[in-house]
Amino acid sequence: MPEATLHDGSTIEIEVHGSGPTLLLPVNPQPVIGPQAEQMRKYGTDPALGQSLIKGLSDAFRVVAFDYEGQCLRKPKPDTLTPANTANDLLAVADAAGADRFAYYGYSWLAMIGLQLAIRTDRLSDSSSAPLSARLSPSGPTASRHSSWVAFHH
């Protein structure tokens, strides 16, 4: 399995699925299981979201999946997780996957680093991001997708 070296020297595994234009997809390719999956469902989150996205997109794209959020949680780097370093991390993933040009999709804070990537490289062909908000109420958590999406094409 290919790996990319990130700005802090740690490595991240990359899974490549499908063929076509390259799409960087910063998701956990493995479904979350057990009690953590049950907790995610209570908050309206799909514990197999990454796997579902990979399966749904790999018929039209060469999907490069990598669990960047999980990596950042496993190996916190609060002093160096800057906009420039996150963009460089995404470029390192693209390099490890052999992608000169690529599209990117992210949601929540992963959408924000996609915007940072967009202003720092000309290698990005397309980008799409979807903000997601969660609300907690006395009756329990709910999630809602905003109707606004950010997308552009070079």
Structure confidence by residue, pLDDT tens digits, 71-112: 999 999 999 999 999 999 999 999 999 999 999 998 889 999
Axis crossing angle, helix 83-96 with helix 109-118, rounded to the nearest 10:
80
Distance CA(125)–CA(112), nearest Å, equals: 17
Judged against a pLDDT cut of 90, whether residue 52 lies above it is answered with: yes
**Residue tagged 């109707």 (tokens):** 147
Q: Copy the structure tokens of residue 107.
A: 């949601």
Alpha carbon distances (Å) from 80 to 83, 86, 93, 144:
9, 9, 18, 31
Distance CA(128)–CA(132), nearest Å, equals: 13
Q: What residues make up the domain containing 123? A: 3-153
Query: What is the sign of the dihedral through the CA atoms of 98, 101, 107 and 109?
Result: positive
| Average pLDDT value for residue range 4-17 | 97
What is the structure's pLDDT at 62? 97
Judged against a pLDDT cut of 60, whether residue 132 lies above it is answered with: no
Number of domains in the chain: 1
